[in-house]
Amino acid sequence: MIDARFGHVNLVARDWRRLVEFYERLFGCVLVPPERDYSGPDLEAGTGVAGAALRGAHLRLPGHGPTGPTLEIYEYSSEPDALPPAVNRPGFGHIAFVVPDVAAARAAVLAEGGRSVGEVVTLQTADGRRVTWCYVTDPEGNIIELQSWAEAK
């Protein structure tokens, strides 16, 4: 087994500053300086993208303290056409935030330019706990799960 610690999740944006502001405003993510601005042969070699140039930043995710994992949001100078969001596409599916009130969080995301993917639902786990959740998107169509847990009765 590799001696590992979770570090970050990367999100490629069309407008990295707008997406950073969205995650700061709605979920309390905190900017971790410095902003990133990379280009050149080493970036091309590392990404496998000819002519790669990117800008962006890391955001500390809420609830894990000053050394917790980050959400890395990068904008490349060129990009392929985007696919429509789909919760069942192989690969990265979504980022999840635990919130006290799923319906209120959903309304806040929609008010800030996000879109609805499905409805708010509640499921019961095999151990009797209940999870209320829904999928929404950020303003660029990346899927976010909002969830709230209740213990078994």
Q: Are residues 72 and 120 in the same domain?
A: no
Last residue of a domain, one of 44, 76, 108: 76
The Cα–Cα gap between 28 and 23 comes to 7
- Please report whether residue 29 resides in a domain: yes
Kindly report the backbone phi and psi dihedral angles of residue 110, in degrees, each rounded to the nearest multiple of 5, phi listed first.
-65, -35
- Please report whether residue 81 resides in a domain: no
Domain CATH code at residue 141: 3.10.180.10
Q: Are residues 48 and 101 in the same domain?
A: no
Q: Are residues 61 and 14 in the same domain?
A: yes
Query: What pTM does this model have?
Result: 0.87
- Please report whether residue 104 resides in a domain: yes
Dihedral in degrees, nearest 10, Cα atoms 111, 117, 120, 121 = -170
Q: Are residues 72 and 13 in the same domain?
A: yes
Residues 32-47 have a mean pLDDT of: 93
Say how many domains are in the chain.
2
Residue span of the structural domain in which 18 resides = 8-76
* 50-101 tens-digit pLDDT: 899 999 999 999 999 999 999 999 999 987 787 787 878 777 789 999 999 9
Run of H or E residues at 37: strand 30-39
Q: Are residues 52 and 112 in the same domain?
A: no
Residues 104-128 have a mean pLDDT of: 94
Q: Are residues 12 and 68 in the same domain?
A: yes
| pLDDT above 90 as % of the chain | 75
pLDDT averaged over the chain? 92
